[in-house]
Structure 1
Amino acid sequence: MMTDDLVPNENGLDFSMMEDAVGYSLRRAQLAVFQHFNEAFSSKGLRPTDFAVLLLLKRNQGSKQSEVAEALGIQRANFVAIVDGLENKGFVERRKSETDRRVQSLYMTPAGEAYLNELMPIWQGHEEWVLAQLGGIAQRDSVIALLKRLYD
């Protein structure tokens, strides 16, 4: 029996307890953004994490592998597989640190740089789509400032 406060979705499930939950809305937003990213980059066979690594290395050549993993919030064990994949594609290379042979430093290869340059217009289009969903580019700084409050 339906009550006045029942809010069924298209599957008939009652979402009335969740529809105003900030965490739930953030998760749904994240899924929508990732889905659009995956669609935009589908022809390139690229995952968001791979793109983030390349983007970070663009201006941080020679960073320690552990620093990059931490900066992106990726567990070290998982990050090794990500770097392995990028290295196998010829986009990234590991080098032993000159000061500490136990440390792996990451460098983007020329092929990685060229690939990232190819990806930038796709990323720009994706960013524009996200901002359009939130009211346009004028909202960019406000959106970023609000979201950073959650993790800074």
Structure 2
Amino acid sequence: MAAKNTKAPSRGSNPADEPLPLDLSALTSIVGYPLRRAQLAVFEDFNRRFLALKLSPAQYSALVVIAANPGRKQSEIAGALGIQRPNFVAMMDELERRGLAERLRTPVDRRSRALALTAAGATLVARARRVQAEQEQEVERLIGREGRQQLLAALARLAELGT
């Protein structure tokens, strides 16, 4: 004869043995929590969309900024993106290995390197911008054009907390 489960119901259980939703209200009313959750969702979507291009968000950002600012120093690009120098050097090593970007000697300071995209890098950035535009369209579908503009403005103001 099989033993009958005599375990007392745990606190918060319901008759259907389905867990009740957790109360997250102490977190959802704090800006940082939903902001982080949204950031994770956007990055997961980005990673899914950019998988075929083999680009991380940081690599995409670096390539786009290099494309818009050819010839600028590695330290300038890293600083503008908020990427620590050793991490940026490693990322540039990878982008060079893939033939997407290159470091060039500068005539002014032979110790520093100017960054530029290769032809392959420019082609990849053009493809990646189209993929990024699709993601932005999806964001706009979810929150509307005005909501997207308001979100960007609010995020820019929030970024001032760190300065």
Matched, 1:66 2:72: no
SS of residue paired to 2:83: coil
State whether structure 2 residue 113 is matched by structure 1 residue 104.
yes
Amino acid aligned to 2:148? R
SS of the residue 1:151 aligns to: helix
| AA of the residue aligned to 2:101 | V
- Structure 2 counterpart SS, 1:129: helix
* Equivalent residue, structure 2, for 1:93: 102
- Normalised to the residue count of structure 2, the TM-score between the two structures is 0.82
Aligned CA RMSD, in angstroms, stands at 1.6
Matched, 1:76 2:85: yes
> Deviating runs (4+, > 3 A) in structure 1?
10-14
AA of the residue aligned to 1:46: L
1:40 matches 2:49:
yes
Which residue in 2 is equivalent to 1:21? Answer: 30
1:7 is aligned to: none
Identity, in percent, stands at 41
How far is 1:119 from its partner? 1.6
Partner of 2:3: none
The answer for the alignment partner of 2:148 in structure 1 is 140
Check if 1:116 corresponds to 2:120. Answer: no
Deviations 1:3-22 (A, max 9, x none): xxxxxxx7865423212111
* One-letter amino acid of the counterpart of residue 58, structure 2: T
Max Rg structure = 2
Compute the displacement of 1:92 (Å): 0.3
For the residue of structure 2 that corresponds to 1:18, the secondary structure is helix
Counterparts of 1:119-130 in structure 2, within 5 Å, are 119-130=128-139
Higher helix proportion = 2
1: CA distance between counterparts of 2:87 and 2:125? 22
Number of residues of Structure 1 aligned to a counterpart in Structure 2: 144
TM-score, length of structure 1 as denominator length = 0.87
Q: Which residues of structure 2 form unaligned runs of 5+?
A: 1-10, 13-18
Q: How far is 1:28 from its partner? A: 0.5
Letter in 2 for 1:142: Q
Displacement of 1:44 in angstroms is 1.4
CA separation in 1, counterparts of 2:32 and 2:85?
Answer: 26
